[in-house]
Amino acid sequence: MNLAVDIGNTQVKFGIFENDELKEVFSQEESIEQILSIFKIENAIISKTGSSNIIGQKLDQRKEVKTLLLSSELKLPIRILYETPQALGADRIAGCVAANFLFPGKNVLKIDFGTCITYDFVNDKGEYYGGAISPGMMMRFKALHNYTAKLPLIDPKEFEKFELTGVDTSTSILSGVMNGIKEEVDGIIKEYNQRFENLNVVATGGDTGLFVALLKSEIFTRPYLVLEGLNRILNYNLP
């Protein structure tokens, strides 16, 4: 069995795969001990965006597990044309590999609604050029709170909905952040649609559910896109 590990800025996700099929997902760092005791893991791959190194150390102790650390130098099923590939986030690479697999031979824009909102484009030849990085939802709420004297920190989960026109400080912040993200994403998708024919859009990340239904564009959602991409890369590098 394969183990895909996505160490993000805010959480860790583990995917247990049998061939190409995702069997189980875990989301706590301490789950690594449970996983190694329950499943017969033969191969593992780590995407490391966050600072934690505990999981890598645990896997290094298991000599029976072949472990790869994802970077742009690893053999990949897509061609990286990014000008600074060594600075490219491993989670972005994995997500693009999965998106390209889902839409082979087609232009695809991958959007990750995570700590940051990342946009990544892979063309119909399987070539990755780059994309964009924007502040994520909670980063925007925290910035308004941290860089002002009186604006409160808003938790969007405390509100059933948000309107275009806020009627007090809290709902004005809510409107600004949520509508700002919605218009940003719709605008970027529109720009890509104007430049590339038959564009497919796939979204992932923890905040996806808050925005996909609000967007004008048709979007394919895949909650475990990064884990799927990691597994693809792992299998691509196995003998």
In a domain? residue 2:
no
110 DSSP β-pair partners = 120, 202
Q: Position of tokens 């183990």?
A: 3
In a domain? residue 25:
no
144 vs 197: CA distance, rounded Å: 38
Query: Using one digit for the tens of pLDDT, what is the confidence trace for 18-40?
Result: 988 999 999 876 688 888 889 99
Q: 3-state SS of the chain: helix, strand, coil percent to 5?
A: 40, 25, 35
**Backbone φ, ψ for residue 121 (5° rounding):** -115, 130
Looking at the 3D structure of the chain, how many domains does it have?
1
**Considering the chain, what percentage of its residues have pLDDT values greater than 90?**
72
User: Which amino acid belongs to residue 122?
Assistant: V
What are the angstrom distances between the C-alpha of 185 and each of 195, 204, 227? 16, 13, 23
In a domain? residue 114:
yes
189 vs 203: CA distance, rounded Å: 12
127 vs 78: CA distance, rounded Å: 6
In a domain? residue 230:
yes
Nearest to 13 by CA among 184, 223, 238: 223
109 DSSP β-pair partners = 121, 201
Give residue 192's Cα distance to chain centre: 19
The answer to whether 186 is a known catalytic residue is no
Cα 182-185-186 angle, rounded to 5 deg: 80
Q: Is the pLDDT of residue 50 over 70?
A: no
In a domain? residue 16:
no
CATH of the domain at 80: 3.30.420.40
In a domain? residue 79:
yes
Query: Using one digit for the tens of pLDDT, what is the confidence trace for 103-123?
Result: 999 999 999 999 999 999 999
What average pLDDT does this structure show over 212-226? Answer: 90
pLDDT at site 111: 97
Q: Is the pLDDT of residue 61 over 80?
A: no
User: Containing domain of residue 112, as a range?
Assistant: 72-136+178-237
152 vs 142: CA distance, rounded Å: 9
Query: Which of 91, 112, 120, 207 is flagged as catalytic?
Result: 91
In a domain? residue 113:
yes
SS3 state at 101: helix
What mean pLDDT, rounded, does the chain reach? 92
In a domain? residue 93:
yes
Q: Which of 182-206 are b and which e, b meaning 16 or more Cβ less than 10 Å from the residue's Cβ? A: bebbeebbeebeeebeebbbbbbbb
Q: Residue 170: enclosing H or E segment and its boundaries?
A: helix 169-195
Query: Using one digit for the tens of pLDDT, what is the confidence trace for 165-188?
Result: 999 999 999 999 999 999 999 999
